[in-house]
Amino acid sequence: MTAEERVRNVLNNCETTITETNELAITLKEKANQFFKDEMYDVASELYTKCIELDPTTAYYYGNRSFAYLRRELYGLALADADSALELDPTYVKAYYRRASANMALSKFKLALVDYDLVRKMCPGNRDAQAKFEACQKMVRRIAFEKAIASDHSSISVADSIKLEDFVIESDYSGPHLEEESVSVEFMEEMIATFKDQRKLHTKYAYKILLAIRKFLIEVPSLINVEVPDKQKFTICGDVHESNPYLFNGDFVDRGSFSVETIFTLFGFKLLLPNHFFMSRGNHESDVMNKMYGFEGEVKSKYSAKMAELFTEIFNYLPLCHVINSKIFVCHGGLFKEDGVTLEKIRKTNRNRQPPEDGIMCDLLWSDPQEMVGYSPSKRGVGIQFGPDVTQRFLAENDLLYVVRSHEVKPDGYESHHEGKCWTIFSAPNYCDTIGNKGAFITFTGDSLYPPKVHSFEAVPHPTVRPMQYASSMLSFLS
């Protein structure tokens, strides 16, 4: 049963027995609270919305919906609801919590600190409030310290400090060996088998792959043109071999416990098949997201802090988008809050940095489509939401057929927007081991670009390691 069907059933059952508006709102709130406890946050947030429609003057309806939006990672909406709750009731302590949590998730730590300070003063005996204030204060100080260090060493690359000859291969190491300068099919097969056995690639060979991919990526532009010959199949998220080139569209890491194995596999194939395997940067290929959602912790646990720093440096060189046969625009997030963005302007965008809070690079990594025309503030709090008119103008100005993007979970792994001019493709089935969605990929050939063929698939079993076991304790701020 879909979220929409569950909401409809609840409304039908309640509206037939309850006619008084406030009583109906209270009943729906109780139903929503139960769905929240059952981790059906999409259903809960829709029912809280009905409560607000019935009674827009009650602060805790906005506060509860803000909490549901936090769990759905719609931080922009969570922030707006927290603000609305506080406008109605400036003494509503939970709303300050929600606003602080949303700002934490958006890496606006100084703003979060202000609200945590208010909460601990309003509730002087609340240990949780004091603990969150202190943790947020440490984060603000840590960022200031790291910024000071970075300014002193801005021209120093982590890669320059790595000497492969210093690493010794132990006699009991049973994994694959990368003695040659280039990656081979045999090495890739052995490495994947090693990962399936939950064993590690040796540190020396891990660094060898990272140094090689860094050298390769430095030389490529921010926008990559890909030509697919007639009759040759091209896959955006799919199987890999030389007669079937494909593109992975960002967010390779975080939110799982096997991100290290995933990224080494992807980088390995990129080195093996540089003209048949393509990778775009996603919003999770960034320092703050990696710190919060697990990748940094996983790399430190399996290898070292230095390797985590090198990954950050490499992610900065990943291309931002691709254009297939001069007709299909592929990026992780979406389009832009300003008109007139050309492919050439994108190609010249400086990507060797952490994602900014606005501009072309930010929108490419963070934006989402919407059905109404024009632009809207992002439900995530970063980037924008763009309508079908925005898509059509961008395609017409750049002589393109359609946009392919990712970034959003979809029940069947995909969704067509804007009359087929924009496609969302999401390839992680049963997202975070909880959502139950399908994954999907699309294929087309050089002489048949539209419509793309969509292929959905279910999740398969994986080793019994809980998802996000390396995630930062900062995620506790969302509870």
Write out the two tokens for 62. Answer: 């906005």
Residues making up the chain, counted from first to last: 479
For residues 124 and 47, what is the distance between their CA atoms, to the nearest angstrom? Answer: 33
The catalytic residue among 284, 322, 332, 417 is 284
For residues 356 and 252, what is the distance between their CA atoms, to the nearest angstrom? Answer: 20
462 noted as active-site residue: no
For residues 10 and 47, the answer to whether their CB atoms sit within 8 Å is yes
For residues 128 and 93, the answer to whether their CB atoms sit within 8 Å is no
Torsion of CA 144, 147, 151, 153, to 10 degrees: 120
For residues 465 and 268, what is the distance between their CA atoms, to the nearest angstrom? Answer: 24
User: How many C-beta atoms lie closer than 10 Å to residue 370's C-beta?
Assistant: 20
Residues 6 or more apart whose CB falls under 8 angstroms from that of 67 comprise 36, 78, 94, 98
For residues 329 and 421, what is the distance between their CA atoms, to the nearest angstrom? Answer: 10
> Given phi > 0 = left and psi -120 to 50 = alpha, else beta, which region is 251?
left
Question: Which residues are known to be catalytic?
Answer: 284
